[in-house]
Amino acid sequence: MSASISIKNITKRYDSVTVLDNINLHIQDGEFVVFLGPSGCGKSTLLRMIAGLESITEGSIEIGDKRIDTLPPGQRGIAMVFQSYALYPHMTTRQNMAFGLENVKVARDEIDRRVNDAAKILEIDHLLDRKPGRLSGGQRQRVAIGRAIVKEPKAFLFDEPLSNLDAALRGRTRLELAQLHQRLGSTMIFVTHDQVEAMTLADRIVIMHKQKIEQIGTPMEIYQYPVSRFVAEFVGSPPMSMLPINNIENTENGVTVEVSGAGKVTTSITLPTDFSAKDAVLGIRAEDTTLVSTQEKGLDLTIKVIERLGDRTLLYGTLADGTELIAEDSGRSKTKAGDVVRVSVSPHAVHIFDANGLAYHSHMEV
């Protein structure tokens, strides 16, 4: 029953303030798409516009072949799970799940069948006669998902549904959502500012920034080939280190950049002939660094803070001129704060960003 969603030239303005600017997006039937971005980027507004809870200023939205932006929310064939779950507090779990079906006059037998089936899938069949006040956060979340499932919608919308759960439950629910998507095969749109949720759940991630779509891609495309400095810094934990570039020299296999406080770094990136080194930066992810002996070539890093994560150790340090760089070592690292280590960087894994934040990557395998 699921369908594709087409968002065409959507703009949203409140008086003179533009909240979304000319958004175009096509979501495939059965695809799991995550809107990811910082607070205020417009991702929730876009979701609410698809749901019909916000009007659109310009553009149109289609589900399948049908234009839906002119229809009231209840007639769009979508279901939404809210951050606060928005369960009806005076109704039992069963009544919460059945309410939407009663409104469209579905037969009682059919309502019971759908509610019982959904409750079984979500393992909440023993909670059907409880009111939300007597449910835990995780159980409420399941009921909210159950309320969406029984409607058999063309698309599911999730507005940061995991943010009210504790870390352990969030991880488990994330996995269950992924399984639910596989089982139902429905089109799902999920809004979050949590990149782990985005990376683990999405078929494709839509990165939003300053009222626009910054990048659309699979999680690995977004991570390995960010189109801009914003995406590179926003996605990934710890964030990508940015080292100011003083000079660029073309070489046979790419460019060698002279990095402030660290000397020369060889890369396999090819830059356009008119590329300017002014305000350009070299981006390095912590996992693309390796600690090497002082005899080898590399950047000398003075360690300031060490973060031990068990399987790996993050080394937060500074280069000779004070530029910050985060490097990674194994979980058994003996490095201490105050040590000076030499760090080597893979020439294929670095990124260069020009003064406008536009990214250039090496397209050789790392």
14 contacts other proteins (rule: CB under 8 A): no
Q: Which of residues 101-120 bind other proteins (CB under 8 A)?
A: 103-104
Q: Name the minimum Å distance from CB 328 to other proteins.
A: 41
Of 86, 178, 292, 306, which one interacts with other proteins (CB under 8 A)? 86
Q: Name the minimum Å distance from CB 62 to other proteins.
A: 18
Cβ proximity of 29 and 183 under 8 Å: no
| CA distances for 184 relative to 26, 139, 198, angstroms | 20, 20, 19
In DSSP terms, 316 is beta-bridged to 305, 326
Comparison of 104 and 309: residue with beta carbon closer to other proteins: 104
Number of residues located near other proteins, criterion CB under 8 A: 24
Pick the piece of the chain touching other proteins (CB under 8 A) from 100-108, 134-142, 317-325, 347-355: 100-108
Q: Name the minimum Å distance from CB 41 to other proteins.
A: 20
User: E strands along 109-203, which residues?
Assistant: 155-159, 187-192
Comparison of 77 and 226: residue with beta carbon closer to other proteins: 77
Q: Name the minimum Å distance from CB 90 to other proteins.
A: 4
Q: Which residue, chain included where needed, has tokens 């600690």?
A: 291
133 contacts other proteins (rule: CB under 8 A): no
Comparison of 89 and 322: residue with beta carbon closer to other proteins: 89
> What is the greatest pairwise CA distance in the chain?
78
How far is it, in rounded angstroms, from Cα 272 to Cα 300? 30
Comparison of 151 and 229: residue with beta carbon closer to other proteins: 151
Q: Helix or strand or coil: residue 86?
A: coil
Comparison of 99 and 225: residue with beta carbon closer to other proteins: 99
Q: Helix or strand or coil: residue 189?
A: strand
Of 88, 112, 264, 279, which one interacts with other proteins (CB under 8 A)? 88
How far is it, in rounded angstroms, from Cα 155 to Cα 338? 54
Pick the piece of the chain touching other proteins (CB under 8 A) from 85-93, 107-115, 172-180, 214-222: 85-93
Sheet holding 351-353, edge to edge: 263-266, 254-259, 241-251, 281-284, 351-353, 359-361
Q: Which of residues 139-168 bind other proteins (CB under 8 A)?
A: 147, 151
Of 99, 117, 260, 266, which one interacts with other proteins (CB under 8 A)? 99
Q: Name the minimum Å distance from CB 24 to other proteins.
A: 25
- Beta strand pairing call for 155-159 and 32-36: unpaired
10 contacts other proteins (rule: CB under 8 A): no
Cβ proximity of 124 and 142 under 8 Å: yes
90 contacts other proteins (rule: CB under 8 A): yes
How far is it, in rounded angstroms, from Cα 97 to Cα 111? 9
The contact mask relative to other proteins for 42-81 (x = CB under 8 A, - = no) is ---------xxx------------------xxxx--xxx-
Comparison of 56 and 80: residue with beta carbon closer to other proteins: 80
- Packing angle of the helix pair 93-103, 137-149 (nearest 10 deg): 20
Each residue of 89-110: b (16+ CB within 10 Å) or e?
Answer: eeebbbbbbbebbeeeebeeee
| CA distances for 198 relative to 32, 178, 203, 283, angstroms | 10, 11, 9, 22
40 contacts other proteins (rule: CB under 8 A): no
Which two structure tokens, joined as six digits, stand for 58? 């310009």
Q: Name the minimum Å distance from CB 98 to other proteins.
A: 10
331 contacts other proteins (rule: CB under 8 A): no
How far is it, in rounded angstroms, from Cα 80 to Cα 22? 24
Comparison of 101 and 121: residue with beta carbon closer to other proteins: 101
Of 16, 65, 89, 109, which one interacts with other proteins (CB under 8 A)? 89
Task: Summarize as ranges the residues that interact with other proteins (CB under 8 A).
Answer: 51-53, 72-75, 78-80, 82-84, 86-90, 99-100, 103-104, 147, 151
